[in-house]
C-alpha cells in the first residue's frame, strides 16, 4: 500500500508536466484545427531559459532567496517563451492561414527542426545540468520499513500546475478574451464577421500555450536538472498523446490525459517491467480511441477551446 | 570547334587538373579519420578520443611525420547513433580515407565496421567494448581497449567476492553496449550463486526514474549494477537517493566521466566503476601527460591513451610494413607488437588485444576517483 502511494506520487508529478504541455497542443487544435508540432521545442527552449536564468541568478548575482529566484525565473521564462510562441505563429503559420491543412503541419515540423538546431548552435548539443535548487522533503511511514517520500519539489510541481490550470480555466470561462477564444473555437469565420480580431485571438492562444509550456520547462529543469536540445521531441510526443487521450480540443481533457499517462507509466514500471512503460501508455491510447474516438472528454460540440 | 568536342576538351582538362590535384594532395598527407560523438549526450567520451588521437598526430608530425608525409586527423561526428555512424562511414569511404580511429559507442561501431571491412579500410576503435564487434570474422577491425566479456566478469567477481549482495538488481539501457555488459555481469554473479532479482531496461534519454527507484526500494534491493552511460545513471542515482534508496551502485567505463558528478552531485559519491587502468599514472607516460597538461587537456579519461595508441599503431605499421595499403597493414598489425602509452600491445587473430586489464575505481562527488584494492 505504501509503495502504491509512492507510485501515485511519482505518476502525478510526471503527469502534471505532461498536462501542462498537452494544453498547448489542445488549445491550438481547438481554435485552428492544427497540430502544432513545434510545441515540444517551445518547452525545450523554456527549459533552457529557465536553467540559464537560475544559473545566472545564483552564480552570477549570488541571489539566495529561493522563492524569489523561482518567481523571477517563471516570469522571465513565461515572457520569453510567450514571445517565441507569438513569433512562431507569425512567421510559420499565419502566412499559411486558409491553405490546405497539411501545409501548416509541414511548416510546424520544419519549425521544430529549425528550433532544435537553433538551440544546438546557440547552446551546444551537449547536456546541460544543474544541481537541485530545492531539495529535501517529507517522509511518512514506519522508521524501519518502507517510507513514502514526498519531496518539496513534487509538491511545488503539483501546486504550480494547479495554480496555472485554474488561472487558465478562469481566464477562458470568465474574461472577455476567453470568451473570444471560445467563440473562435466554435466558428472562426462567424466570430470574425462579428467584429472580433481572430488573428489576435489565435496569437493569444499560441502565447498562452507557450506560457504553460514555459512553466513545464522551468519545473522540469528544476526537477530533473539535466536538459539537452532533444528533450522537446520526447516530451512533445508524450504530451500530444495525453492531449489525444483526453480528447484533443478539450482543456480538462488535456489535464486528465496528462495525469492518466503519467500514472500509467509509473504503474507499468512498478508492476510490470520498466521496458513496458511506453508500451502500456500507448496501448492505453489505442484502447481509449477504439471505444471513444474523440478521447475521454472530447465532445467537440459542447466543450472545445 | 563544335560544342561536343569543346565539352570533351574541357572535361579532359578538368580531369587532368583534378587528378593532379588529388595526387599532389595525397603525397603530402596521410589522413586518419577520427570518428565518434562530437555532439550529443555522450560527447564527453568523444572529447577523450579526439584529444588522444590529436595529440598523437601532433607529436608524430613534430617528429617529421610518416615517411615524409604529415598526418592529418579528420574529425567525424556520429553522435553515437547507429544510422549516423553509417553515414559517417560512407563519407569516409567517399573521401578515400584509408584509416579510421573509432567509432566510440559499440552500437555505432558495429554497423560502421561492416562498411570498413567491405571497403578495405583499417579501423581501430579505442573505446567500443562490446564483444560482438570483433566476433564478426572481420579482418580490418581492431581495438585498443578491452571487451565487455573481460569487464563484465571483473565487475561480477568483485560484486560476488566483496559486496555479497542479498538482493541484487541489474539495470541497463537496452543498447548494445549497456545490455551486453549487464548480461555479462548477471551471468558472472549468478554463476557464483548470487540472485539477480530485478533485470530491467530503461530507455536512452529517459529522465524520470522515480517509479524504478520506488520499485527497487520496495524490493529491498541492496546492490545495483547499471549497464549504460552516465546521463541516465546520473539521474537514477539522484532520484533514487532522494527517495531514500541507499543501495550501492556500480557501472562500466561508460559512466566514469566527470559529468556524472555534475548530474548526480553528492549522489555520485561511492559509485563503483570499472575502468581501464589509469595509464596517465604510469611513470613511462610522464612526458605525454605533461604534454596534455600543457594543452590544458585531461589525460586521465579512459579513452585518451587508447586513442593515442590507435594512431600510433597505424603509423608504426605504415613504417614497419613499408606500405600504405590498409589490407597489408592489418596483416602486419596482427603479426607484430607495438610499444604504446597503454603498454606493449599485441593482437589476437580477431583484432582484440591479447591482454587488457580493467580496474575498479570508487567515484567521488567532486568527480575524482580512487582505485579500489
Query: CB–CB of B107/B129 below 8 Å?
Result: no
Look over chain A and give the mean of its residue pLDDT values, rounded to a whole number: 88
> Is the predicted pLDDT of residue B40 greater than 60, yes or no?
yes
| Helix (H) or strand (E) run with residue B36 in it | strand B29-36
Residue A201 and residue A205: Cα distance in Å, rounded? 6
Q: Which of A11, A230, A274 shows the shortest C-beta gap to B205?
A: A230
Flag whether B322 is in a domain. yes
Based on the fold, state whether residues B77 and B138 are members of the same structural domain. yes
pLDDT band at A136 (very low <50, low <70, confident <90, very high): confident
| Mean pLDDT of all residues in A281-296 | 87
Mean pLDDT across B130-136: 91
What would the pLDDT profile of A78-90 be if each residue is shown by its tens digit? 999 999 999 999 9
Residue A2: its pLDDT value, please? 81
B71 phi/psi in degrees, rounded to 5: -85, 150
DSSP one-letter string for B294-331: HTT--TTSTTHHHHHHHHHHHHHHHHHHT---HHHHHH
The answer to whether the CB atoms of A129 and B234 lie below 8 A apart is: yes
* A192 domain-assigned: yes
Pull the grid cell for residue B253: 567505463
Q: Are B123 and B116 in contact (CB under 8 A)?
A: yes
Q: Which residues of B touch A (CB under 8 A)?
A: 39-41, 43-44, 79, 171, 174, 200-203, 205, 207-208, 210-212, 214-215, 217-218, 231, 234-235, 238, 242-244, 259, 262-263, 265
Per-residue pLDDT band at B17 (split at 50, 70, 90): very low
Closest residue by Cα to residue A21 from A295, A257, A186? A257
CA distance to B187, B204, B250, per residue, from B222 (Å): 18, 24, 12
Position B5 in a domain: no
User: Does pLDDT of B39 surpass 50?
Assistant: yes
Mean of the pLDDT values across residues A121-145?
Answer: 82
Q: How confident is the model at residue A251 (pLDDT cuts 50, 70, 90)?
A: confident
State how far residue B128 is from chain A, nearest Cα, in angstroms: 20
Q: What is the interface size between A and B, counted as CB pairs within 8 Å? A: 93
Q: Cβ contact (<8 Å) for B214 and A124?
A: no
Peptide bond into B103 cis (omega under 30): yes
Same domain, B16 and B101: yes
Q: What is the CA radius of gyration of chain B?
A: 23
B163: number of Cβ within 10 Å: 17
Residue B14: band (very low, low, confident or very high) from pLDDT cuts 50, 70, 90: very low
Residues B290 and B266 in one domain: no
Confidence of residue B18 (pLDDT cuts 50, 70, 90): very low
The answer to whether residues B288 and B269 belong to one domain is no
pLDDT for B26: 47
Based on the domain organization, do B56 and B125 belong to the same domain?
yes
* Cβ B155 vs Cβ B274: under 8 Å: yes
Kindly determine whether residue B44 and residue A230, on different chains, have CB atoms separated by under 8 Å.
no
> Residue B2 domain-assigned?
no
Q: Is residue A3 part of a domain?
A: no
Residues B252 and B293 in one domain: no
pLDDT band at B27 (very low <50, low <70, confident <90, very high): low
Assess whether pLDDT exceeds 80 at residue B21: no
- Total domains in chain B come to 2
- Average pLDDT across chain B, whole number: 88
> What length is written for chain A?
305
- Determine the structural domain holding residue B268 and report its residue range: 149-277+359-371
In a domain, B76, yes or no: yes
| Helix, strand or coil, per DSSP, at residue A194 | coil
What percent of chain B lies above the pLDDT cut of 90? 60
Query: Is B250 within a domain?
Result: yes
Q: Spell out which residues of chain A touch residue B215, defining contact as CB-CB under 8 Å.
A: 3, 269-270, 274
Helix (H, G, I), strand (E, B) or coil at B362: strand
pLDDT in tens, B71-95: 999 999 999 999 999 999 999 999 9
Q: Which residue has the cell 524501519?
A: A144
Interface of A with B (CB under 8 A): 2-3, 6-7, 10-11, 13-14, 120, 124-127, 129, 131-132, 135, 137, 139, 146-147, 149, 151, 220, 224-226, 228, 230-231, 234, 265-267, 269-270, 273-275, 277-278
**Comparing C-alpha atoms, which of A230, A238, A237 is closest to residue A37?**
A237
Residues B153 and B225 occupy one common structural domain: yes
Question: Is position A122 within any domain?
Answer: yes
Cβ–Cβ contacts within 10 Å for residue A48, how many?
Answer: 22
Domain that residue A68 falls in: 16-232
Specify if A66 maps to a domain.
yes
Residues B185, B246 within the same domain: yes
Q: Is the pLDDT of residue B16 over 50?
A: no
- DSSP element (H, E) containing B137: none
For residue B321, being part of any structural domain is answered with yes
Instruction: Quote the CA–CA distance of B288 and B308 in Å, as a whole number.
Output: 10
Mean pLDDT along residues A61-78: 89
Q: Write phi, then psi, for B201 (nearest 5 degrees).
A: -110, 140
- Does residue B19 share a domain with residue B130? yes
pLDDT band at B20 (very low <50, low <70, confident <90, very high): very low
Contact check, Cβ <8 Å, A231/B217: no
* Mean pLDDT within B229-248: 91
In a domain, B3, yes or no: no
Phi, psi of B78 (to 5 degrees): -105, 5
SS3 content of chain A, % helix, strand, coil (to 5): 75, 5, 20
3-state SS, residue B212: helix
The answer to whether residue B130 sits within a structural domain is yes
Counting the structural domains of chain A, the total is 1
Structure confidence at residue B19 as a pLDDT band (50, 70, 90) = very low
Asked if residue A283 belongs to a domain, the reply is no
My answer on whether B92 and B226 are in the same domain is no
Band the pLDDT of B12: cuts 50, 70, 90.
very low
Nearest to A117 by CA among A32, A67, A186, A45: A45
Comparing CA positions, the residue from B284, B280, B332 lying closest to residue B306 is B280
Claim to verify: residue B226 and residue B366 sit in the same structural domain: yes
- Do B231 and B242 fall within a single domain? yes
Mean pLDDT value of segment A93-115:
90
Give the mean model confidence (pLDDT) for residues B20-36: 69
Please tell me the distance from the alpha carbon of residue B351 to that of residue B355, in angstroms, as a whole number. Answer: 12
Q: Which residues contact A51 (CB under 8 A, 6 or more apart)?
A: A128, A130, A221, A227
- CA–CA gap between residue B179 and residue B176 (Å, rounded): 6
CATH number at residue B332: 3.40.50.2300
pLDDT band at B6 (very low <50, low <70, confident <90, very high): low
Nine cell digits for residue B256: 566514469
Buried b (16+ CB within 10 A) or exposed e, B16-38: eeeeeeeeeeeeeebbbbbbbbb
Average pLDDT score over residue span A280-287: 88
Amino acid at each position: 500500500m505504501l509503495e502504491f502511494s509512492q507510485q501515485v506520487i511519482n505518476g502525478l508529478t510526471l503527469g502534471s508536466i505532461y498536462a501542462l504541455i498537452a494544453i498547448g497542443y489542445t488549445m491550438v487544435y481547438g481554435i485552428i484545427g492544427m497540430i502544432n508540432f513545434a510545441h515540444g521545442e517551445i518547452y525545450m527552449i523554456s527549459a533552457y531559459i529557465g536553467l540559464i536564468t537560475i544559473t545566472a541568478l545564483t552564480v552570477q548575482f549570488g541571489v539566495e532567496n529561493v522563492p524569489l529566484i523561482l518567481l523571477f525565473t517563471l516570469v522571465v521564462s513565461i515572457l520569453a517563451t510567450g514571445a517565441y510562441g507569438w513569433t512562431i505563429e507569425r512567421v510559420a503559420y499565419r502566412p499559411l492561414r486558409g491553405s490546405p491543412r497539411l501545409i501548416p503541419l509541414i511548416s510546424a515540423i520544419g519549425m521544430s527542426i529549425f528550433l532544435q538546431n537553433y538551440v544546438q548552435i546557440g547552446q551546444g548539443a551537449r547536456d546541460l545540468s544543474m544541481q537541485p535548487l530545492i531539495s529535501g522533503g517529507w517522509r511518512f511511514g514506519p522508521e524501519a520499513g518502507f517510507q513514502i517520500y514526498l519531496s518539496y519539489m513534487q509538491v511545488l510541481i503539483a501546486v504550480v500546475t494547479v495554480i496555472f490550470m485554474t488561472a487558465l480555466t478562469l481566464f477562458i470561462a470568465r474574461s472577455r478574451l476567453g470568451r473570444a477564444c471560445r467563440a473562435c473555437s466554435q466558428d472562426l469565420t462567424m466570430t470574425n464577421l462579428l467584429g472580433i480580431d481572430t488573428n489576435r485571438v489565435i496569437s493569444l492562444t499560441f502565447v498562452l500555450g507557450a506560457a504553460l509550456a514555459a512553466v513545464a520547462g522551468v519545473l522540469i529543469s528544476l526537477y530533473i536538472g539535466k536538459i539537452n536540445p532533444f528533450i522537446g521531441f520526447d516530451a512533445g510526443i508524450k504530451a500530444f498523446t495525453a492531449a489525444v487521450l483526453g480528447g484533443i480540443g478539450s482543456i480538462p481533457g488535456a489535464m486528465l490525459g496528462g495525469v492518466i499517462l503519467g500514472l500509467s507509466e509509473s504503474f507499468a514500471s512498478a508492476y510490470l517491467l520498466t521496458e513496458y512503460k511506453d508500451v502500456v501508455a500507448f496501448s492505453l491510447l489505442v484502447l481509449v480511441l477504439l471505444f471513444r474516438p474523440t478521447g475521454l472528454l472530447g465532445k467537440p460540440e459542447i466543450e472545445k477551446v | 570547334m563544335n560544342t561536343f568536342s569543346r565539352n570533351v576538351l574541357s572535361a579532359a582538362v578538368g580531369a587532368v587538373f583534378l587528378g593532379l590535384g588529388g595526387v599532389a594532395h595525397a603525397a603530402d598527407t596521410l589522413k586518419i579519420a577520427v570518428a565518434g560523438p562530437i555532439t550529443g549526450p555522450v560527447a564527453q567520451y568523444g572529447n577523450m578520443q579526439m584529444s588522444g588521437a590529436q595529440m598523437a598526430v601532433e607529436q608524430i608530425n613534430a617528429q617529421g611525420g610518416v615517411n615524409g608525409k604529415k598526418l592529418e586527423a579528420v574529425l567525424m561526428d556520429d553522435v553515437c547513433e547507429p544510422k549516423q555512424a553509417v553515414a559517417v562511414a560512407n563519407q569516409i569511404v567517399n573521401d578515400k580515407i584509408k584509416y579510421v580511429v573509432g567509432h566510440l559507442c559499440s552500437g555505432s561501431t558495429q554497423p560502421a565496421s561492416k562498411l570498413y571491412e567491405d571497403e578495405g579500410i583499417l579501423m581501430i576503435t579505442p573505446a567500443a567494448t562490446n564483444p560482438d564487434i570483433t566476433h564478426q570474422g572481420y579482418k580490418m577491425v581492431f581495438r585498443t581497449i578491452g571487451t565487455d566479456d573481460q569487464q563484465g566478469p571483473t565487475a561480477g567477481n568483485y560484486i560476488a567476492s566483496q559486496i555479497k549482495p542479498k538482493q541484487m538488481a541489474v539495470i541497463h539501457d537496452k543498447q548494445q553496449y549497456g545490455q551486453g555488459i549487464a548480461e555479462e555481469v548477471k551471468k558472472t554473479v549468478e554463476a557464483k550463486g548470487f540472485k539477480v532479482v530485478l533485470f530491467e531496461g530503461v530507455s536512452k534519454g529517459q529522465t524520470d526514474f522515480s517509479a524504478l527507484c520506488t520499485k527497487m526500494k520496495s524490493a529491498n534491493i541492496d546492490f545495483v549494477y547499471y549497464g549504460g552511460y552516465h546521463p541516465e545513471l546520473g539521474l537514477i542515482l539522484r532520484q533514487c537517493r532522494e527517495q531514500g534508496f541507499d543501495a550501492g551502485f556500480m557501472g562500466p567505463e561508460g559512466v566514469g566521466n566527470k559529468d556524472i558528478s555534475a548530474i548526480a552531485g553528492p549522489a555520485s559519491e561511492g559509485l563503483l566503476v570499472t575502468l581501464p587502468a589509469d595509464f596517465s599514472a604510469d611513470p613511462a607516460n610522464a612526458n605525454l601527460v605533461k604534454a596534455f597538461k600543457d594543452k590544458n587537456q585531461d589525460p586521465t579519461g579512459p579513452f585518451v591513451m587508447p586513442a593515442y595508441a590507435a594512431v600510433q599503431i597505424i603509423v608504426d605499421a605504415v613504417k614497419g610494413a613499408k606500405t600504405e595499403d590498409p589490407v597489408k597493414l592489418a596483416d602486419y598489425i596482427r603479426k607484430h607488437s607495438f610499444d604504446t602509452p597503454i603498454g606493449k600491445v599485441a593482437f589476437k587473430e580477431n583484432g582484440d588485444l591479447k591482454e587488457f586489464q580493467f580496474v575498479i575505481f570508487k567515484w567521488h562527488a567532486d568527480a575524482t576517483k580512487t582505485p579500489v584494492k
